[in-house]
Structure 1
Amino acid sequence: MIVQSLIDEFEHEVNSTRRLLLAVPEKDLGFRPSPTSWTMGELAQHIATIYYWYVGSLTQDVYDMGADSFERGATDDIRATIELFEKNVEKARVAIRSITEESLAVQWTMKFGDRTLIGPMPRNLVVRGFLFNHLYHHRGELIVYLRATGNKVPGLYGPTYEESTGLG
């Protein structure tokens, strides 16, 4: 029951993420709200990359990011980022469909070489915290970037403020 709920949420949110990435204009990929912030292109690419992490998070009990090599495209090409997103979603879809109720209780750890970054913790917390909530956090940031640059934000959970007030 929990597994199917996670799969359903994953599929719903993939569509929302896709709509958000498709709203990112090429002209604003270099926008950076502060000197320590990512550019809009870097943030969009990070969102696309999170889907790659489903594989290591859901199929390995210890995921060593230092030993993994994953593709990253140019951050100044939104089409490349969207292609990366689509490739990573397919990998994530296979991984999330492989989990079982039992595998959600297994302890999971993320490492970078000898350094432990996250965990150990039950995989069900990894799915919600590291994968889902992490993605939602960065999508919220991207929405702020879009608004700060005067771009339209797609409604992810119903109409946006602009749509509901007739301003958009």
Structure 2
Amino acid sequence: MFRTMNDFYTTWKEEAKGTQQVLDSLTDESLQKNFTEGHRNLGRLGWHLATTLEEMVSHTGLQFSGADFSKPVPDTAEEIAEAYRFTNQSMIRAMKDNWTDETLQEEHDMYGEKWTVATILKVLLLHQVHHRAQMTVLMRQAGLKVPGLYGPAKEEWTAMGAEPPTV
């Protein structure tokens, strides 16, 4: 999927922007709402996204400051959004300072398998999109406005003076 680090940076920039929009749309009240027993709530999913950047990329040996998975989910939506922002910036800075296009071909142990850095970055990106999609469903259930990520959200259609699609 990624042949150069620039390929990754270009794609990641847009996807991280979308994730940040979702996290910035959360409220403190929405974090603890449980819609299905035994499943992650918005707070846990948001914290998971913030902490996974460092957790996954650390398997390559790259070190940077980031949100700590071992810490409990923060009480405020702002803390989660800021943790993602900070961790993402730290990760990209460390990559740009330490990695080249050749790094993408390096193999590392990843959960008992050997993955190239290119594969790790692809999975990191898809993992983020997967959980962000879960979050948008929970956001609707929590009564929050969902940002349009790949096109206008329902509220954005209305703001443009158009009827949102119903199908």
Q: Which range, TM-score by smaller chain?
A: 0.7 to 0.9
Quickly say closer, same or farther: Cα 1:91–1:53, change in 2 above 3 A.
farther
Query: Which consecutive segments of 4 or more residues in structure 1 shift more than 3 A?
Result: 57-60, 71-75
Quickly say closer, same or farther: Cα 1:121–1:55, change in 2 above 3 A.
closer
> Equivalents in 1 of 2:125, 2:116: separation in Å?
15
Does residue 146 of structure 1 match 2:139? yes
> Equivalents in 2 of 1:96, 1:76: separation in Å?
30
The aligned residue for residue 90 of structure 1 is 89
Please give the residue correspondences for 1:17-166 in structure 2 after superposition, counting only pairs within 5 Å.
17-53=19-55, 55-60=57-62, 70=68, 72=71, 74-97=73-96, 98-110=98-110, 117-129=111-123, 131-164=124-157, 166=163
**Which has a greater percent of strand?**
1
**More displaced 10-residue stretch of structure 1: 137-146 or 152-161:** 152-161
Shift of 1:54: 5.6
Work out whether residues 59 and 95 of structure 1, in 8 Å CA contact, stay in contact via their aligned partners in 2.
no
> Equivalents in 1 of 2:61, 2:90: separation in Å?
11
Shift of 1:58: 4.3
The two structures have a TM-score, normalised by structure 2, of: 0.80
Quickly say closer, same or farther: Cα 1:9–1:91, change in 2 above 3 A.
same
Aligned residue pairs, count: 153
Work out whether residues 55 and 91 of structure 1, in 8 Å CA contact, stay in contact via their aligned partners in 2.
no
**Identical amino acids, percent of aligned pairs:** 23
The two structures have a TM-score, normalised by structure 1, of: 0.79
> Tell me, which stretches of 5 or more residues in structure 2 are unaligned?
none
> Equivalents in 2 of 1:133, 1:102: separation in Å?
22
Structure 1 counterpart of 2:147, one-letter code: P
